[in-house]
Amino acid sequence: MIAVVAFEGSLGLWLLAGVWARVSWAVALGCFGLFACVSVYKGLAGETSCGCFGRVETSPWLTAGIGMLAVIALWVLRPGEKAAAGKLFRTAAGLATAVLCVSLVALGIRGLWIMAATAVQQEDAGLATVGPAGPEACPADCLRFAVRLARAELGLEVGAENTEPELADASKALTALLYDAAGAGGKVEPVPLERLLEEPMDGAVPPVLLVHRTGHLEVLVGAVRTEVGVYYQVLHGEAGVRLASAQDLRHGGFSKAWRIAGAGVGVPVRVGQTEVRLDKIYHNFGELAAEQEAECVFSVANSGTRPVVMDAPTSSCGCVVASPAEAKELAPGDKLAVAVKVRWAAVTSLRHKVFLTFREQTGTQTRVALDVLACQRMSLKLSANRLDFGQVSGAKTYMQTVRLEEVPTDRFEVKAVDVGSLPLDWQIQRLATPEGLRQYRLQLRLTPRGLSVGRHVGDLRLTTTSRLRPTVTIPVQFQVQPPVRAIPSIVSVGIVPVGQPQRHMVDLVCDEGPIQEISVAQTPPACRVELPGQGGGHRVALTIVLSAPGIWREEVVLAVRTSEKQHRVVVPCVGFGATP
């Protein structure tokens, strides 16, 4: 390119100098004729730019016209034999060169202006970022998602699942959508972020594309009004819905905001040689309460000229159920309602997909993914969702602590504590966090004295003034051990030769005070029990001699008397007799 520019400049100076007029005339005539032919060829080929001015797009028909005018002027004012003719040729060549230079300067200024405007647009749109911080490195694939959503809102065809454009094409497509649509149809408008945050919003809103200075793209799809202000529902690519305050958005590094107004014509989807039209590609329920059920409807219409079969919809989660439950055939012009029911769990973000698969008579099929969105503002923080005291003794007490903490979107007070039938004593203490939020520390003391041996369960219920979680239920469980028990609780002799004695020691533990007397209530024939003597402690010796090969399983029953009552302690014994 530099060599071509140098040649053209040298040719212009040669023509102005008038040296070797006939030779310079022939070279100039051939040069401009060649330029005109190349430009005509590119114009007939349908190219939008001749490429003469690098990145500046210039119509090949314009450069072809300039080249032909130069050829005509050179042919009419060719150099002659006489001095007057030569002087006329030099004057015409000078004028032609001057006109050419002025044209080149004008085109250059126009090119610089276009490149500067494009650079500003790309910088404003945040789409010129390249590198690890750019959208091409985004794990949430925010660039492709933004292109898909913008096209759908503007009523343009969206691709099937997994057929989105490459990142470079997606960047160009999004830039064109934002600037061309904004100038042509008025469906996209840039809006200052501060003005956007001053607008009254509640519930689902038309999507607003937020451009981060690093190139990442997020989409504002709704707002939730709380006692402490408005929180905005924001999507980052395929990630879940997050709630952001106005302060978060102001200081979040966003450099531009684009409001995308729906065209109201639906979203066309190509299915083979025909098409279907969806009314939307996502539905935002806004804010849902815990365990709340909600339903929405997606409308599907066959806007093509051939019948289309839609398979039964599927979803990415069992909490989302879509109908109809069987395949449906849509003739041209037919419409179908796809009902989607969701059951909201106690999480802050819900984002699941509903998949629609369309098949044409030729066998071509297209699968489209629809998004179902909802959120729940962050409720109070709870340190434990369940309490397990483990194995406990009736003669001891056990402590556990539960903490409840406010969050900016959920201020509350604890009004009542209900332990039900659980043997719990409680004490509550109110503290303050460094952020000025209240924290409640509930200290629980378990006293299982007098309870039956075995597993016990119950619920601890806290009544609060929280609008999101007015009642907090915490399951509680514990296992009460016998007051007198054997350690080990099971005697296993393993594999031993028949007739060979095996000696094992069993310790008796009592939670009701000292053991006063130990006696044998039941013993199997293969086992001999040796009780401790006077002052011998609470250790019992079992001598086991297996008399036959195979599995052996018996029980030794001991009677233990304490100061309170008589206890029965069962010690299971197992082993396997091997032939010597």
Give the pLDDT confidence score for residue 329 in this predicted structure: 92
Alpha-carbon separation of residue 89 from 34, 70, 73 (angstroms): 21, 13, 10
Of 112, 113, 124, 235, the C-alpha closest to 175 is: 124
Angle (nearest 5°) at CA 337 between 335 and 341: 170
Q: Where are the domains of the chain?
A: 2-125, 135-260, 267-375, 394-480, 484-578
Give the pLDDT confidence score for residue 422 in this predicted structure: 94
Q: What sign does the CA torsion over 431, 434, 435, 436 have?
A: positive
> Is the per-residue pLDDT at 14 higher than 60?
yes
Termini Cα distance of the chain: 99
CATH entry 1.10.10.10 includes domain 484-578: no
- Collapsed DSSP state (helix, strand, coil) of residue 302: strand
394-480: which CATH architecture?
Answer: Sandwich (2.60)
Give the pLDDT confidence score for residue 186 in this predicted structure: 44
Residue 261 in tokens = 């107004």
Give the pLDDT confidence score for residue 119 in this predicted structure: 43
Residue 169 in tokens = 């094409």
Give the pLDDT confidence score for residue 39 in this predicted structure: 79
Point out the least confidently predicted range of 191-195, 293-297, 510-514, 574-578. 510-514
The residue-averaged pLDDT of 542-552 equals 92
> Is the per-residue pLDDT at 95 higher than 70?
no
Percent of the chain residues past pLDDT 90, beyond the cut: 35
Give the pLDDT confidence score for residue 49 in this predicted structure: 63
Residue 270: count of CB within 10 angstroms of its CB: 18
The residue-averaged pLDDT of 312-332 equals 91
pLDDT tens-digit series, residues 329-359 = 999 999 999 999 998 666 677 889 999 999 9
Q: Could you give the CA distance from residue 127 to residue 124 in angstroms, rounded to a whole number?
A: 8
> Is the per-residue pLDDT at 27 higher than 80?
no
Angle (nearest 5°) at CA 156 between 154 and 123: 65
Give, in words, the CATH class of 135-260.
alpha beta
Contact (CB, 8 A) for 154 and 181: yes
Selected residue with higher pLDDT from 14 and 323: 323
The residue-averaged pLDDT of 300-328 equals 91
pTM over 0.75: no
Point out the least confidently predicted range of 56-65, 380-389, 423-432, 552-561. 56-65
Give the pLDDT confidence score for residue 189 in this predicted structure: 81
pLDDT tens-digit series, residues 146-201 = 888 888 888 888 765 545 555 556 666 677 766 665 443 447 788 888 889 888 88
Give the pLDDT confidence score for residue 554 in this predicted structure: 94
Give the pLDDT confidence score for residue 52 in this predicted structure: 66
Give the pLDDT confidence score for residue 55 in this predicted structure: 46
Q: Could you give the CA distance from residue 246 to residue 196 in angstroms, rounded to a whole number?
A: 10
> Is the per-residue pLDDT at 36 higher than 90?
no
The amino acid occupying position 280 is K
Point out the least confidently predicted range of 132-136, 348-352, 445-449, 475-479. 132-136
Selected residue with higher pLDDT from 261 and 222: 222
What is the 8-class DSSP label of residue 452? P
Q: Provide CATH code, domain 267-375.
A: 2.60.40.10
Q: Could you give the CA distance from residue 279 to residue 268 in angstroms, rounded to a whole number?
A: 9
The residue-averaged pLDDT of 551-569 equals 90
Give the pLDDT confidence score for residue 124 in this predicted structure: 41
Strand partners, 176: none
The residue-averaged pLDDT of 6-19 equals 62
Place of tokens 């200290």: 443
Same CATH fold assignment for domains 135-260 and 394-480: no
